[in-house]
Amino acid sequence: MKDKDSMNVSEINEEILCVLKREEKTDKIILDVVEIEKDLEPDFRGLLNQFERNGNTANSIVHYIKNHRKLKVLFNRYDYCARLNMAYQGLDSTFELIEEKYQSKFDHIKDKEKKQEAIKKEKDKLLKECKERLHANYLQKAYKKCRKDKEILAFSHRRVGWGAPKYDLNENFSIELKTNFGYGSVSYFYTKIKYKDLDIIPFSDWVNYRISRIFEIVLYSSKHTLSNESWYDAMSYVAEACNISSKDEDLFVQKYIVDQCKELITGLQNILNSSTFRLKGYVFLNQEKGYIDLKLSGHNLTEFRGEKISGALELIGNHSAGISIAPEQIRYEWLSLGSEEFFHSLKSGVSLFSGCR
């Protein structure tokens, strides 16, 4: 299995795809890589010569590509996201639209030096697009290779827009790799795991973030920064969880359910007993911005406590069925988390919150 030291994570989706496989001897889920083959490099070097020739314009180079036996594939449509957290992504232009974009009409510019600058600027723009299209072509072929390989369970990508492919890793464990790349502020990268039809959710996020929304938290088990490197973290999270669930169900329940609830309740106790908080923050859904130091009093403090308490009760109530898969000792520990004294405080907090409306 590839670890972070043996896998250069900066190469993910550039030189390699990060993939999940099942190891035949042990039946464990492991991380591996698939090399991205770059078969058009010799032909593309020839294209670079076209850009360097002073007499060529962007328009003439577009026609060179169109008539090239191998490079004409650059003008295919590609589902490709160059910048995962930015808007307006994709390479879906047809040849006609590309030709229209690079018309190379500069006869109106009389100054020779300014005309050459305009020609160069347009060529540079085309070259940048060609490089993106070339890499999109390589990735598309790498995806196809992965789909054909029956040993590969899941693979990294940089496709545009919403996608949540589901993969059954064994009879009890399934995952969703939920991505929405290339849509600006609403872009996200989530992993969702399900064990024995139970959705694993991060209860602790409810108290660890300044702004938490239940409808978001229930969408994921873990969330990741919008970068190609995050595929390693996502795949590692999935592989570890799946392998633990197969080897030791008690440990899985403890780590992914009970410990999460403990952290939630510890956070609630802190919220009830304090007026200053250090919480995680984010600009948009999946764009972290570190920690926020929060100091509240009066109505604002009561409202904050009420929101966190009532939301926590809803979260736990909607997912209490999950404890049914735990052994007796852990079920007892789960139930012991909510002592009479603690739930009295919860009810008091909810009453205060309701009374201030």
Amino acid 350: pLDDT: 47
Distance from C-alpha of 31 to C-alpha of 175, rounded to nearest angstrom:
15
Amino acid 33: pLDDT: 96
Residue 163 has φ and ψ, to the nearest 5°, of -160, 140
Please name which of 154, 159, 144 lies closest in space to residue 175, comparing C-alpha atoms. 154
- Joined tokens for residue 38: 């770059």
Q: Which residue has the higher pLDDT, 135 or 96?
A: 135
The pLDDT > 90 percentage for the chain reads 51
- Joined tokens for residue 104: 């190379």
Amino acid 3: pLDDT: 64
Amino acid 320: pLDDT: 61
The pLDDT > 70 percentage for the chain reads 85
The greatest distance separating any two alpha carbons of the chain, rounded to the nearest whole angstrom, comes to 86
Amino acid 155: pLDDT: 96
How far out from the chain centre does Cα 227 lie?
7
Please name which of 233, 246, 158, 244 lies closest in space to residue 191, comparing C-alpha atoms. 233
Length of the chain: 357
Amino acid 272: pLDDT: 85
SS3 sequence of 13-54: CCCEEEEEEECCCCCCEEEEEEECCCCCHHHHHHHHHHHHCC
Record the pTM.
0.85
First to last CA, the chain: 55
Distance from C-alpha of 327 to C-alpha of 68, rounded to nearest angstrom:
65
User: What's the rounded mean pLDDT across residues 179-191?
Assistant: 91
Beta carbons within 10 angstroms of residue 61's beta carbon: 21
Amino acid 39: pLDDT: 97
Amino acid 25: pLDDT: 87
pLDDT, one tens digit per residue, over 277-288 is 888 876 555 556
* CB 193, CB 175: distance < 8 Å: yes
Distance from C-alpha of 187 to C-alpha of 182, rounded to nearest angstrom:
6
User: What's the rounded mean pLDDT across residues 28-53?
Assistant: 96
Distance from C-alpha of 15 to C-alpha of 162, rounded to nearest angstrom:
24
Amino acid 355: pLDDT: 44
User: What's the rounded mean pLDDT across residues 80-98?
Assistant: 86
323: pLDDT confidence band, cut at 50, 70 and 90? low
* Strand ranges (E), the chain: 16-22, 29-35, 152-155, 161-163, 166-168, 173-181, 188-195, 198-199, 222-223, 276-282, 288-295
Lowest mean pLDDT among 38-52, 77-91, 273-287: 273-287
